[in-house]
Structure 1
Amino acid sequence: MEDLNFNEASSSVMDIQIDSPVWKEYKKVSVTDFGAKAEEGCCNEAAFQRAIDYCKQERVAELTVPRGVYPFLNGNHPVFDGLRDFRFNGGGSEFIFSTVSAYFTIRHCERAIFQDFIVDWDWETGQLASIGQVQAIAEDGSSFDLCFPEYDLVPEALAIRTMNAMNPRTLTPGCELGREINGNLFGKISVMSNNIVRVELPRHESFHFLKQGQTYIVRHYIYDANAFELHGNQHLRMANVTIYSAPGHAFVTTGDQHHWALEHCRIIKRPGTTRCISVTADGCHVSNSQGYFIIENCDFSYNGDDCLNIHDNSVQGFERFNETTIRLSRVQGWRNPFGSGDPIEFRNTDLSPAGITVSIASVLWDERNQHCTIEFESPLPSGLSNQSILFNRRYNSSNYIVRNNFFHQNRARGILLHSGNGLVENNHFYMNQGSAIQIECGAEARWAEGFGVENVLIRNNLIENSDVNHWNMAVIYMGVYLEQGRTCYPVFNEIRIEHNTILNCPQQAIYASSCRRVFIRDNAIMNSNAGAVKTDSDGDENCVPNRDYYQGSLMVSHCRDIFIENNRRLATIPTTADHIYIEPDTSTNVSLSNNTGFERKEAGEVNTWQQAR
């Protein structure tokens, strides 16, 4: 694979090759040969697994499915393990699931293709999410009434896991000053009438933002079961696969998986339904893998979280037992898969390198208490801070192409990038609740993700109406999250943002920080800063702090060697800001040239100020 060379006028385009199956002879069988039936009430788990196991044993080239609707009822869903040079041809069939476990598990397969089928949850057995609308609020703030217009009768034991604000007219995720509510905050929930429940509120929390008529996506499932769990595969293709819904992520990729692709896959709401969600979590979640993947010509929409999240997990803080042994807290094996031989790099609390990488000798897990004890092969320096951040360098989810996709109308970000060496081009982002593209790294009590991002080219994308509830204050956002705040260490390097069109964002178009050698060139920015200025009291827990700090339509801070050139801003409506802002105390060597449509005072003063520095 070619690295992006930013020292040349035109960046090279990477080439990731996914090998096709190799067949000496072509034998195929049908799932119906093993007892599968496209009949209502039929339990197809055993028949499908018999067919899959036979294909592995006999080195069958293709397993076919005659077109039909196949129910899966008992939870023992298909597992494809260790198949090579294999094709699963769904033939346009639908597979319907009603048990909370992964729909398809595909692991340790090599040169395999899965194509042409639909998966869905059986909503008759229980909805994954519902539309909820605030009917009334108690004068003393002790409760509110929530109506579920889709129901004649509210189901018994209706779980309210989260309430995510939505636009009551378009019924899409997010709205101006919308706020999310975690169901853990609620008290008793009582049925008041056929489709109205009363939710008691704790006295110590403020719910002043609740308004009569406000509409919410009420999730009953979140991260409960994924549609496809892809682990440790090589040269895998998922093609023309449609996911109407799942009680978790659509695609999850982990482990030693590399060289894989999603082609013409769709995550969409089933047509002809009143559903407010497709999958209840991410569209595609890439975590602790080996990278090298392509996502092309796909449609991801109405997800309960990010459309695409690419990251590897870190962890901050440890307790030292002796010179070679430490204990980590708030860790889980699936999230932080430490193992013998893994090289662990230690970073300072500002994400700068500590200059220490040590391999693991052994790991002892205490999953119940979310602890693990790690013994290293060599001693750790005595002066190493116990608040250091640990990167497991066994994993690297970098090297990717994300091209010609439609990411739209989802709860969180369009693309969340924690890994580098990537090409993001010709995508369409529309009505993403959060940023269209978020480049991030950080460590704190809630999250610890990313090892930094280098060599990414973002070009020729169309971004419309994103960051709809001011989630991150910019539709292209680059920043860290750390307990002590932002860092001047450039954890983001060699990033190009070129030839993109950004239309109608409530606050900034682009914000870049903790970075070096970022090129923002030839972008069209239309009606940026079109919303009211948001303050800390307006938002929800996902929004960045100190929102009144953000200034201008395009802003950089905690950075050096930044090039902002040939960008054009056009406004047809009144906006709250129209300039390029360079944070003076944290930015050095910022070059501005030939930018038009921005307030002149910033562009006129910056070059003089830079020379003075």
Structure 2
Amino acid sequence: MESVKNDDNAGGVPEISISAPTRSGYKIVSVADFGARAEEGYCNGSAFQNAIDYCKQERSSELVVPSGVYRFYNGNHPKFEEMHDFQFDGGNSEFIFSTAEVFFIIRNCVRTIFKNFTVDWDWESGQLASIGLIREVASDRTYFDLHFPEYAQAPGDMNLRTLNAMNPLTLSAGCELGREFNENHFRSVSRQDPNTFRIALSNPEDFRFLNPGQAYIVRHYIYDANAFELKSNQHLQIERITVYSAPGHAFVASGDQRHWALRHCRIVKRPGTTRCISVTADGCHISNSLGYFRIENCDFSYNGDDCLNIHDNSVQGFKRIDDRTVSLNRVLAWRNPFALGDEIEFRNEDLSPAGIKERIAGVEWNKEHNSCTLTFEKPIPAEVSECAILFNRRYDSGNYIVRNNFFHHNRARGILLHSGNGLVENNHFFMNQGSAIQIECGSESRWSEGFGVSNLRIRNNLIDSCDVNHWNMAVIYMGVYLAKGRTQYAIFDRVWIENNTIINCPQQAVYASSCRRVYIRNNAILNSNVGRLKSHADGDENGVLHREYYQGSLMASHCNEVRIENNRRLSTVATTEDHIYIDYETSTNVNLLHNIGFN
């Protein structure tokens, strides 16, 4: 076995400093001066917007809100655009919304602070999700009866968008080997009694897992409207904001967004309610941005998707029109924002560099067919495959610090990382349905995300009872998704996983692949591999195909220069696996040193 250099130089996590507003004079304005009222049935949209526009015109330093509960109707929601050196203080007020449009838009602002308020959806106007219980399942699986215990009479017109398995005791997302399915599987829905619907299934043979007594989070909204859309802001600070619910993501950052922070923010269920969800999608979704952000001392929970998702979007496959022009399918302007002057890097099907970078000279969108035509400044060499993957190098959502946060009880991953130059430390992950930390890159028909991850430190985190559904094989998972499977190309480079405590994971603690210079060391692993092994009969909807390929508590494959040392494993219950497994057919230069408790 070759020696792996014990490299402690992570290249340095960049300094991420965020400038406060600069003020030559201090002028405070109140929304009350423009007619805002904390009254039931009164729409505050115009009053708030008039106050915002006045502050922009008069260069006011601060807009304040007298404490109260303010309602917004008919999509008349606040928009902060091109504000400079400005602060919005919500005065610990609540803002309630009942229209599925963005709650707050913050766009093209410079040196601004938003703080001290709560936002929520009006659940009296329609629940975002409901608890559903399986009461009866036909012996031939042609139908099942779904009961909604929260209602006196369940609405007949509510959308049953997805059913996500939940623990019937804790009423939180995920349960061992739990399954998910959506309305595409339904042949018909009919009411049986005021709170129960009979759902006929299109493919009964796929639903052998259904049994009376199972509980589900039934989402009626998914990606319908976000609480905060943050676009192309610089030096933005969001502090002490609570999101009780929204019919989409809580925070979305994109565009020329850079140097910004979330501090002491919460995404939690409203106390005193029977709600089974907070926001119906991600807690914080960062996409096609310029990075340099901090997320610190936040609490993200009960999300309908990932707590935190950091990525930029790629696209695979093109068709040549001429030597400088290509057409792309399965692209959307918001997801793949190609623009004049953007530098596009062409990657091979295995994510390795093709050695070609060209700038865009023209873009033409066909939104009806989800396609576009790109014209480049120079010809694209004929040897570049039409199956190539395109990275838009205008964007890089990397350079971040994620520290001292609590990520828990959500439907998917704690953190999904597709970008590098990051520090993830001192966070607590608890009962996330998927991996606590998933490091990923890939391209397929549904998703094409990530340009690779380099220079990442994951340290001093507590990971407890995650991967609840046996979602992705490991609570810290590093891998690609590609049409041809795993790649030998090291799209992940210089990653440190150290001094973490991992407790009670049903499968592997750590899986690393398609990587080089990865250091897994000084971690405490307690009761890993405590769930029963999944079989083909359990299905693969929520995770990786060919689970029989995965062995051990720690595993590495398709890798080079990996060092696994000074990790300690302890089991107090029966486990299915208890060793470190290296796939030496796909891996080279792996060192195992001074690990304790592994066979």
Q: Shorter-normalised TM-score: what interval?
A: over 0.9
Tell me if structure 2 keeps the 8 A contact 1:21–1:84: yes
Residue 81 (structure 1) aligned with residue 81 (structure 2): yes
Alpha carbons 2:346, 2:389 under 8 Å: kept: yes
Q: Which residue of 1 aligns with 2:162?
A: 162
Partner SS, residue 184 of structure 2:
helix
Q: Report SS of the residue matched to 1:241.
A: strand
Q: State whether residues 11 and 455 of structure 2, in contact with CA within 8 Å, keep that contact through their aligned partners in structure 1.
A: no
In 2, the alpha carbon distance for the partners of 1:460 and 1:203 equals 46
Q: Which amino acid aligns with 1:519?
A: Y
**Match of 1:23?**
23
Count of aligned pairs:
595
Check conservation: 1:496, 1:520, Cα contact below 8 A. yes
Q: How does 1:87-98 map to 2 (within 5 A)?
A: 87-98=87-98
The 3-state SS of whatever aligns with 1:124 is helix
Aligned residues of 2:140 and 2:204 also touching (Cα < 8 A): no
SS state of the match for residue 451, structure 1? coil
Counterpart of 1:553, as a letter, is S
SS in 2 for 1:527: strand
The 5 Å alignment of 1:506-585 reads 506-585=506-585
Superposed CA RMSD in Å reads 1.2
Q: Contact conserved, 2:179 with 2:542, CA < 8 A, in 1?
A: no
- Corresponding position of 1:301: 301
Q: Does the 8 Å contact 1:146/1:198 carry over to 2?
A: yes
Q: Which runs of 4+ in 1 moved over 3 A?
A: 5-14
In 2 relative to 1, CA 374–13 (structure 1 residues): closer, same or farther, beyond 3 Å? Answer: closer
Is this contact kept in 1: 2:10–2:455, CA < 8 A?
A: no
> Residue 445 of structure 1 aligns to a residue in which SS?
coil
Letter in 2 for 1:486: R
Distance (Å, rounded) in 1 between the aligned partners of 2:346 and 2:263: 37
Aligned-pair CA distance for 1:367: 0.8
- 1:536 positional shift: 3.1
Match of 2:241 in 1: 241
Q: Aligned with 1:50: secondary structure?
A: helix
Output the CA distance in 1 between the equivalents of 2:569 and 2:539.
27
- Encode CA deviations 1:346-375: one digit per residue, 9 max, x unaligned: 000000000000100010001111000111
CA apart distance, 1:11? 7.6
1:132-143 to 2 correspondences below 5 Å: 132-143=132-143
Contact 1:6 1:494 in 2 (8 A): no
Q: Which moved more, 1:529-538 or 1:76-85?
A: 529-538
Give the distance between the partners of 1:523 and 1:268, measured in 2 at CA: 30
- Distance change >3 Å, CA 285–CA 303, structure 1 → 2: same
1:308-457 residue pairs with structure 2 within 5 A?
A: 308-457=308-457
Instruction: Output the CA distance in 1 between the equivalents of 2:6 and 2:346.
Output: 28
SS at match of 2:322: coil
Question: CA separation in 2, counterparts of 1:541 and 1:373?
Answer: 34
Question: CA–CA distance in 1 between the matches of 2:32 and 2:205?
Answer: 57
- After TM superposition, give the deviation of residue 76 of structure 1 in Å: 1.9
Q: CA deviation at 1:205?
A: 5.2
Deviation at 1:140, TM superposition (A): 2.2
1:23-57 deviation per Cα after TM superposition (whole angstroms, max 9, x unaligned)? 00000110010111000000111110000000000
Alpha-carbon contact 1:316-1:443 (below 8 Å) kept: yes
Give the 3-state SS of the residue equivalent to 1:188 in structure 2.
strand
Report the equivalent of 1:120.
Answer: 120
Which residues of structure 1 form unaligned runs of 5+?
600-613
Distance 2:551 2:33 in 1: 65
Q: Which amino acid aligns with 1:426?
A: N
Q: Give the C-alpha shift of residue 555 in structure 1.
A: 0.1
Once the two structures are TM-superposed, the CA of residue 237 in structure 1 deviates from its matched residue by 0.4
Structure 2 CA distance, aligned partners of 1:67 and 1:337? Answer: 40
1:61 equivalent in alignment to 2:100: no
Q: Structure 2 CA distance, aligned partners of 1:394 and 1:139?
A: 55
Post-superposition offset of 1:15? 2.4
Q: Distance in 1 between matches of 2:145 and 2:64?
A: 50
- With over 3 angstroms needed to count, the CA separation of the structure-2 counterparts of 1:506 and 1:8, relative to structure 1, is closer
The 2-side partners of 1:477 and 1:452 are apart by: 14
Give the conservation status (yes or no) of the 8 Å contact 2:143–2:204.
no
For residues 487-524 of structure 1, the C-alpha deviation after alignment (integer angstroms, 9 at most, x for no partner) is 00000000000000000000000000000000001000
Secondary structure of the residue aligned to 1:85 is: strand
Q: Is the 8 A contact 2:235 2:259 kept in 1?
A: yes
Unaligned runs of 5+ in 2: none
- Measure how far apart 1:9 and its partner are: 6.7
- Post-superposition CA distance 1:117-142 (Å, at most 9, x none): 00000000000000001000112221
Q: Which residue of 2 aligns with 1:40?
A: 40
